[in-house]
Chains A and B, each alone.
Chain A
Amino acid sequence: MTELIAPNVVAASTRSDRRRKLLQNLLRGERPYMLYIAFVVLLVVFSLSSPWFLSVDNFLNIGRQTTLVSIIAVGMTFVIIARQIDLSVASTLALSGMAAALAMSQINNSWIVGAVAGLGTGALVGLLNGILTTQLSIPSFLVTLGSLSMARGLAMMVTNTKPVIITNETYFAIFGEGSFLGIPVPIAWTLVAMIVGILLLHYNVFGRRIYAVGGNPTAALYSGINTKWVTTAAFVLTGTLAGLAALVLSARSHAARPDVVQGMELDVIAAVILGGCSLFGGRGYILGTLFGSLIIGTLNNGLVLLGVSSPLQLVIKGAIIVAAVAFTKR
């Protein structure tokens, strides 16, 4: 397996220095190749055991199924690198979806209003998480455990737990059902989130600060970095991305429901950790997160194709995640 990857890297480095720098930036990590090897092994195993697995349609399927987790996991990567955790993302998604659908139904049935309401609600929840964590020094585990419950409760209260139907065709096309350059829009949005994440984390000033705050908060403070602001910004980013995921989900199902994606925060966190982020902060990279998310998605998909019962799927998935983290931890 190692030979599969190594020649590419060598070739890239001989071709030009820039290319190598780019690869280094994207593939960074303690044991960068373990993750990709694990992914390839998974693909090989499922291809051999199921005739339906290896097809363009099925891969698009996996892509679509992992969209929500992948989009939010980009934000979670920032939060975890900054030594925090956000448990509220699934509830934030539900609340943002309700906000988007209700706003549209109240104001002109305009997709722009829906998008702004969805993203804004997500950002607001993130802002509250960040402010409570940094200004009151409450551990983010507790803050977001609280907002997990509150956001879900609010989402259910606004319509007394009833779903809100969406009728705007443009909204469906932009966020759920259309395609952009031949790519289904949910996957396109995932790519957008990824690229923004890579630019922010690996090329932007903000990324440097995130790594420093997570790597050693005291040293960051002594270097004049506003650690509270940086941490808060990571939460806002995650909330906003949960809002984006809400737009994608509601556009795909033509409705917002307050009880969607319960427990998804665990998949998101698992994806980020599988992708090589350290729960102790200061380490992680976006492409790793994408692969972490793809591994989880591929597992879900492959196990279904193999006809594994859904309770057993849960057990296998959990075991594989723990084993993978045990192998890749520092």
Chain B
Amino acid sequence: MELSGSIAAEPRPSTALLLVGGINKRFGGVRALRDVNLEVRPGEVHALLGENGAGKSTLIKILSGVHAADSGTIEIAGKPVAFDSPARSREAGIAVVYQDLSLVESLSVADNLLLGREPRARFGFVRKRELMARAEAFLTELGIPLDTKATVGSLPFAYRQMTEIAKALMGEVRLLILDEPTSSLTSDEVRILFDAIGKATRRGIGVIYVTHRLNEVFEISQRVTVLRDGANAGTFVTAETDMKRLVNAIIGTDRSAPAASRVAPAATRAFDPSPVLSLSGVCNDRLSAVDMTVLKGEIHGLAGLIGSGRTEILETVFGLRPVERGRLEIEGRPWLPKGAADAIDHGVALVPEDRHVQGLVLDHSIERNITLPRIPHFSRWGFMQQRAAARRAETAVARLSVKAQGASSLVRTLSGGNQQKVVFGKWNDPRPRVLLLDEPTVGVDVGAREEIYAVIRNAARDGSGVLVVSSDLVELIALCDRISVIVDGRVARTLQRGEIDDAEELHHLLQMYQASGQSALQELPA
């Protein structure tokens, strides 16, 4: 993808459109944002970078009025503003385009653009013709190639996103926030999206562009702000920086050092080289021929960008997605997972990505959650052996050092790290043959993180094969014996320990494979 000249126009050096000063935000014991500053100029595309949990989404939620900052100031065009609701933020001219779009799929593009602002005749009837004409005129003025009569639900994703952007621009929008807009787009669709962004900035609208894809930063943005651990890690003029410097800012040089020390004990561990899980040519709607093996006692990492198919590999092994083609073996025996219950019976365990939605019943006690996958083990003639279940839960709470009053505490009352330990507790005993971990430390504070690493290492030492997905590359390098790079639903390369030393290198590798993967896709015949 080459640089599009129309977009990289010089930002007007006028006063800042948005000025965020010294924002702080705490969630319980976790400091999500510490004295964060951000300045966006009119007509500028300002990229916002950072690892998961660095504070990007919190900052966006504060700007969009979902959360209130604990302290700090927000100014729009020099005027201080305070948002207590998303409506107030919208009135001030801030529009957020989320990944999950806020369109009514059964209505037409024109209906969506003017939703709630329809031109009306008497008795609340809609002037359909005027509505169509206004939508048409607006899209033409903006130069966006959308059919106003098309039903939104029938449009490809990029066009829906364009409708969303057009809808945002319909009101008095001054600042547009795009959160990972390209994660589910094809490269052609990315092109369309970038054109639409260019049209917005030429009207003097400022854009905050959140992404994990560094090549896009260089293509579309004029400046970049990097957040790390909830604080500013630098603001750069895109044209004057390079990928290496950005990666350094994202990962932080200070974190590479402890990572190196953490590598040592894992490296000396000898493990039985028999494969506990192997996949060959596994295909389904999201995977295209995945080949990999996980050895007994090995911690095997999956690195890749969001949407690359990392999570889908775990879900397929856990029986949540069908295997359409290819072979799967557990301890050398062929096996086709028939569902989660079947996977659990075969000794496969999953700590899912979203513990609130997939991992826990928040309003139930720790004990109920921990015994959930093993209910039949705690029953005689169908009746719960309540004492045995309680004892097991107490043991797990002690072993994983969950900080709670007891196994009867509600999971909702625990901190993120302790909730995650409860999810691990579900699979603690009996030891799983294959332990699948999806982003095991997201939303977990630093102290609890180390404890979770210890839990993972113990599982591997006890003979489980561990397959771990993480966007935190420092974490992957510290934990894993081998790392497979996933691009477009297949393993692009498997790295041995020692082949790669630091997160920066891995980051470059990912970006490289992502870029080559995309161009490879373009070369494929349709």
Contact = CB atoms under 8 A, between A and B. Distances in A.
B357 interface: yes
B114 interface: no
A212 B340 contact: no
Interface-centre pick from A224, A225, A226, A282 (highest chain B CB count, 10 A): A224
B382 A218 contact: no
A212 B344 contact: no
B363 A282 contact: yes
A219 B426 CA distance: 11
Contacts of B371: 208
A257 interface: no
A229 to B, nearest CB: 10
A50 interface: no
A283 interface: yes
Interface string A189-227: 000000000010001111111011001101111111110
B137 to A, nearest CB: 41
B341 interface: yes
Given A205-B382, A206-B382, A208-B375, A222 B350 contact: yes
B106 interface: no
Interface string B333-354: 0000001110111000010100
B379 interface: yes
Contact of A211 (B320, B364, B426): B364
Interface in A159-213: 199, 203-209, 211-212
Interface in A1-59: 21
Given A203-B384, A222-B352, A224-B340, A209 B362 contact: no
Contacts of B340: 221-225
B358 interface: yes
B361 interface: yes
B373 A224 contact: yes
Interface in B381-426: 382-384, 386, 426
A216 B360 contact: yes
B498 interface: no
B359 interface: yes
Given A203-B384, A226-B341, A282-B363, A208 B357 contact: no
A220 B372 contact: yes
A222 B359 contact: yes
B517 interface: no
Interface residues of B, number: 31
A222 B360 CA distance: 9
Nearest to A278: B363
A215 B350 CA distance: 19
Contacts of B376: 205
B361 A212 contact: yes
B383 A205 contact: yes
B360 A205 contact: no
Contacts of A212: 361, 364, 368, 372
Given A203-B384, A205-B379, A212-B364, A219 B343 contact: no
Interface-centre pick from B343, B352, B371, B382 (highest chain A CB count, 10 A): B382
Given A222-B358, A223-B372, A224-B343, A208 B363 contact: no
Interface in B212-260: none
Contacts of A199: 383
A223 B426 contact: yes
Given A208-B371, A212-B372, A224-B341, A219 B383 contact: no
Nearest to A206: B382
Contact of A203 (B357, B383, B426): B383
B382 A216 contact: no
Contact of B358 (A21, A205, A219): A219
Contacts of A205: 375-376, 378-379, 382-384
Nearest to A21: B386
A221 B360 CA distance: 11
B357 A219 contact: yes
A224 B357 CA distance: 15
B298 to A, nearest CB: 24
Given A203-B384, A205-B379, A205-B382, A218 B357 contact: yes
A266 to B, nearest CB: 27
A209 B318 CA distance: 20
Contact of B384 (A21, A204, A222): A204
Contacts of B368: 208, 211-212
Contacts of B318: 222
Contact of A215 (B361, B386, B426): B361
Contact of A224 (B344, B361, B363): B344
A219 B379 contact: no
A94 to B, nearest CB: 32
Contact of A223 (B357, B373, B378): B373
A205 B372 CA distance: 10
Interface in A286-301: none
B326 to A, nearest CB: 23
Interface string A220-250: 1111111000000000000000000000000
A208 B385 CA distance: 12
Given A203-B383, A219-B357, A225 B372 contact: yes
Contacts of A211: 361, 364, 368
B373 A282 contact: no
A207 B368 CA distance: 11
A219 B372 contact: yes
A137 to B, nearest CB: 16
Contacts of A21: 386
A226 to B, nearest CB: 6
Interface-centre pick from B318, B359, B372, B386 (highest chain A CB count, 10 A): B372
A212 B360 CA distance: 9
B321 to A, nearest CB: 13
A216 B373 contact: no
Given A211-B364, A211-B368, A222-B350, A216 B357 contact: yes
Contacts of A215: 361-364
Nearest to B390: A21
Given A204-B383, A226-B341, A209 B361 contact: no
Given A204-B382, A204-B384, A206-B382, A225 B341 contact: yes
A225 B382 CA distance: 15
A220 B375 CA distance: 11
Interface-centre pick from A211, A223, A225 (highest chain B CB count, 10 A): A223
Contacts of B364: 211-212, 215, 282
6 contacts: A206-B382, A208-B372, A211-B368, A219-B358, A220-B361, A223-B372
| Among all A-B residue pairs, the 10 with the closest Cβ atoms | A215-B361, A224-B344, A224-B341, A223-B373, A223-B372, A216-B361, A205-B379, A224-B340, A222-B358, A218-B358
Interface of B: 318, 320, 339-341, 343-345, 350, 352, 357-364, 368, 371-373, 375-376, 378-379, 382-384, 386, 426
Interface of A: 21, 199, 203-209, 211-212, 215-216, 218-226, 282-283
Given A199-B383, A225-B372, A283-B363, 11 more contacts: A203-B384, A204-B383, A212-B364, A215-B362, A222-B340, A222-B352, A223-B344, A223-B426, A224-B339, A225-B341, A225-B375
